[in-house]
């Protein structure tokens, strides 16, 4: 990006708000208004206005008795999201590599973040007949494919309703479900059996099999999946891939402290 373009998108108010947040550190955890003003060389009125906005969004906290500002819980929350994503990816990576090597197919790791499916890891199969466009960092609608639906299946009902209202179902292929009630019935099935087989609903000619990853609290924090050309596997192959995906999801969950035994039955007709 050229200097001219940088200047055209420059936001002074945002910069000053970030300067306020960056003024805090392990050695200086609180400031009063005058101290912040002096530290940043900004007028008190400007600092007060920016701090008031940051407080409203919980990026800052204010103690009325001491008249001191401190960092707010929103930063702790966002830091937890980042830390969680890195921790999940670190725990999952060797298991995903083993899964990819054992099956010879592309595997994915995804999370739901800000009402979007986000891919945080991907292990591609060398010489695979197709290359998936869902690279690390790619965002998709929350109901997209094997991972989106696997993750949505373990949300509270009101969260599912909210997502469907904010981001309505839309067809990606001619097989995609676009009816809300049918979709919610699908989620119940996924939750019950512990995995999801996406039969060409995200990409024409491509099947995906996904399973949830649990953390130590029993919460689903990620989903893993395998994608492959539908015609490359028969029913026996689908069952084998499903078993391996489930086993890998269980191992990653165990790495994250989840100890409950997975009671999923593969005897169910898929």
- 111: Cα within 13 Å, side-chain hemisphere: 21
For residues 195 and 192, give the distance between their C-alpha atoms in angstroms, rounded to a whole number: 8
C-alpha closest to that of 148 among 115, 105, 179: 115
- The residues that bridge with 228 in the sheet, in sequence order, are 207
Q: Phi and psi for 227 in degrees, rounded to 5?
A: -115, 145
Q: What is the pLDDT of residue 251?
A: 95
For residues 115 and 225, give the distance between their C-alpha atoms in angstroms, rounded to a whole number: 19
The top-level CATH class assigned to 3-71 is mainly alpha
Per domain, the residue ranges of the chain are 3-71, 79-255
Q: Which residues of the chain have pLDDT under 70?
A: 1-8, 83-86, 127-130, 133, 260-270
C-alpha closest to that of 239 among 264, 259, 260: 264
The CATH code that applies to domain 79-255 is 3.30.450.40
pTM score: 0.67
Query: Which tokens sit at 159?
Result: 């969260």
Q: What is the pLDDT of residue 266?
A: 39
CA distances from 83 to 75, 88, 89 (A): 12, 8, 10
C-alpha closest to that of 212 among 182, 250, 181: 250
CB-based contact 172:144 (threshold 8 Å): yes
Residue 195 Ramachandran class (φ > 0 left, ψ -120 to 50 alpha, else beta): beta
Asked if the domains at 3-71 and 79-255 fall in one CATH topology, the answer is: no
Sign, CA dihedral 105-186-174-142, equals: negative
């Amino acid at each position: 990006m050229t200097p001219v373009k940088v200047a055209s998108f420059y936001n002074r108010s945002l910069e000053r708000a970030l300067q306020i947040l960056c003024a805090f550190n392990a050695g200086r955890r609180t400031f009063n208004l005058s101290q912040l003003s002096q530290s940043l060389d900004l007028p008190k009125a400007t600092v007060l206005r920016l701090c008031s906005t940051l407080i409203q969004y919980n990026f800052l906290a204010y103690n009325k008795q001491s008249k001191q500002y401190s960092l707010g819980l929103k930063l702790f929350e966002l830091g937890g999201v980042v830390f969680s994503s890195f921790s999940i990816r670190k725990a999952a990576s060797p298991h995903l590599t083993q899964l990819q090597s054992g099956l010879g197919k592309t595997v994915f790791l995804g999370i739901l973040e800000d009402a979007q499916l986000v891919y945080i890891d991907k292990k591609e199969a060398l010489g695979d007949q197709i290359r998936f466009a869902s690279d690390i960092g790619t965002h998709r609608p929350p109901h997209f494919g094997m991972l989106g639906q696997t993750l949505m299946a373990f949300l509270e009902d009101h969260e599912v309703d909210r997502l469907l209202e904010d981001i309505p179902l839309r067809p990606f292929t001619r097989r995609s479900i676009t009816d809300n009630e049918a979709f919610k019935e699908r989620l119940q099935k996924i939750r019950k059996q512990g995995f999801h087989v996406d039969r060409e609903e995200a990409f024409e000619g491509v099947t995906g099999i996904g399973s949830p990853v649990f953390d130590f609290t029993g919460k689903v924090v990620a989903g893993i999946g395998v994608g492959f050309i539908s015609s490359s596997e028969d029913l026996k192959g689908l069952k084998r891939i499903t078993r391996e995906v489930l086993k890998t999801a269980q191992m990653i969950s165990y790495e994250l402290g989840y100890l409950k035994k997975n009671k999923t039955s593969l005897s169910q007709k898929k």
